[in-house]
Structure 1
Amino acid sequence: MSNVTALRKPVEQPVWLSPEQVCERVPGMTKTILTDMRENRRGPAYYKPSQRTVVYLESEIDEWVTASRVQTRGEGSS
């Protein structure tokens, strides 16, 4: 019998962040700004597992920040 479990990659568990943790991770972000973004359906995607709970996926916060990259005039020129 082969050892099939040894061939499986470990499954990465999602890392959930509270609004406070998002503010710690993103410089300049505040709970007020984050709340305003949610209320106006802007900003990073979020999840509401209960009426009073809001959480964010760490990987989606990173993607959201990365997507906001602004190319400057000096980039790409030699």
Structure 2
Amino acid sequence: MSDPRNTLRSGLPDRYLTPDDIAEMFEVPKETVYQWRRKHMGPPGFRIGKHLRYDPADVRAYVSRCKTADQDAA
């Protein structure tokens, strides 16, 4: 498996992402991903039945917003 830190830089997979994918990409525990969702933080997710999924475009946009906010704060 490729290094998940490179995934965000070189492009996300062409499929909906799972909470496991998000946890691996951001190097956080999976429970943190679920806490983000409960607190309306982190990349926006959506449900397909009982399964939580993330659109790669939304994850890219979230990372861009974080980077912009971090640069503005500096």
TM range (shorter): 0.5 to 0.7
**RMSD across aligned C-alpha pairs, in angstroms?**
1.8
Using structure 1 for the length normalisation, give the TM-score.
0.62
- Unpaired stretches in structure 2, ≥5 consecutive residues: 1-13
Q: Which has the higher helix share?
A: 2
Q: Percent same amino acid at aligned positions?
A: 17
- Unpaired stretches in structure 1, ≥5 consecutive residues: 1-13, 74-78
Structure 1 runs of 4+ aligned residues shifted over 6 Å read none
Larger Rg: 1
What pairs up with 1:8-27 in 2 under 5 angstroms? 15-26=15-26
Using structure 2 for the length normalisation, give the TM-score.
0.65
What pairs up with 1:1-78 in 2 under 5 angstroms? 15-26=15-26, 28-50=27-49, 52-69=50-67, 70-71=70-71, 73=74
Q: Which has the higher strand share?
A: 1
Distance 2:64 2:29 in 1: 18
